Amino acid sequence: MFKLAPSLLAADFWNLGPQVEEVVRAGAEVMHIDVMDGHFVPNLTMGPGTVVKTLKKHCAGLDNPPILDVHLMVTDPDFFVQPFADAGADWISFHIEAAAHAHRVCQKIKAAGCQSGVAINPGTPISSLEAIIEDVDFVLVMSVNPGFGGQKFIDHTYRRLARLSALIDAADNKPFIQVDGGVGPGNIAQLVDAGMSVAVAGSSVFGRPSPGEAAAELISLARKES
């Protein structure tokens, strides 16, 4: 079943609590949390003791607490896994480009009680995932270059999704596919058709006057296709 993962990178942090509640009430089942170290990507965002821990605490009181999906855009993912798991992350993904020992990072994430994901940048061949595809719960395909929100969707992502789907079809393990970057009303149905199960959407949700209405629209468009 399709899930929408609004990205907090695009949220209004002055009104973060009400905005999260609004999109969760509209049907968003996942909250996507971008963690950037200012080194792997040219931006610096949040740590485990601030947003993640606070979200976990306050979302516990909602009727349908969202999955907290932490995307590590960091040079040393090994270092960050346990702190974010302790803060309340449910899913943790790391970049294949940043992990010298990707299998070990996967093991560490799972040992911490989280679902393990591997992320891949637009310029990295899908074939680089062959050695890790049996060990992950999901693959996060970047459809923009990571580091900043509001970027334009890279069209060759569709070809990459076709290659990834073929790789998954040939594997015993069947991770789900998440897509991050430039996802909106104009392409979400096509992405579902291409194999996406979870859509990360930042500006197309929190950049709209009513994030709840925007989230509901994206969910409706995606589930009609699925």
- Cα–Cα distances in Å, from 76 out to 40, 85, 136, 157, 182? 9, 15, 18, 26, 26
Tell me whether residue 76 is one of the annotated catalytic residues: no
Task: Exactly one of 12, 34, 76, 155 is catalytic; name it.
Answer: 34
Helix (H) or strand (E) holding 67: strand 67-73
- d(C-alpha 1, C-alpha 147), whole Å: 28
Give residue 38's pLDDT. 76
**Mode of pairing for the β-strands spanning 30-36 and 3-6:** unpaired
Domain range summary for the chain, segments of one domain joined by + = 3-225
Starting at the edge strand that comes first in sequence, how are the strands of the sheet with 138-142 ordered?
Answer: 3-6, 198-201, 176-180, 138-142, 115-120, 91-95, 67-73, 30-36
User: Residue 16: what are its φ and ψ, rounded to 5°?
Assistant: -60, -45
pLDDT for 37 equals 77
**Identified catalytic residue from 37, 69, 137, 180:** 180
| pLDDT value at residue 47 | 76
Short-list 2, 9, 70, CA closest to 205: 9
What's residue 180's pLDDT? Answer: 95
pLDDT at 44: 67
Q: What is the spatial distance between Cα 224 and Cα 127, in angstroms, rounded to a whole number?
A: 31
Of the CA atoms within 13 Å of residue 70, those in its CB half-sphere come to 33
The CATH number of 3-225 is: 3.20.20.70
The amino acid at 225: E
Residues of the chain falling short of pLDDT 70: 44, 49, 147-151, 225-226
- Is position 172 annotated as part of the catalytic site? no
pTM (two decimals): 0.94
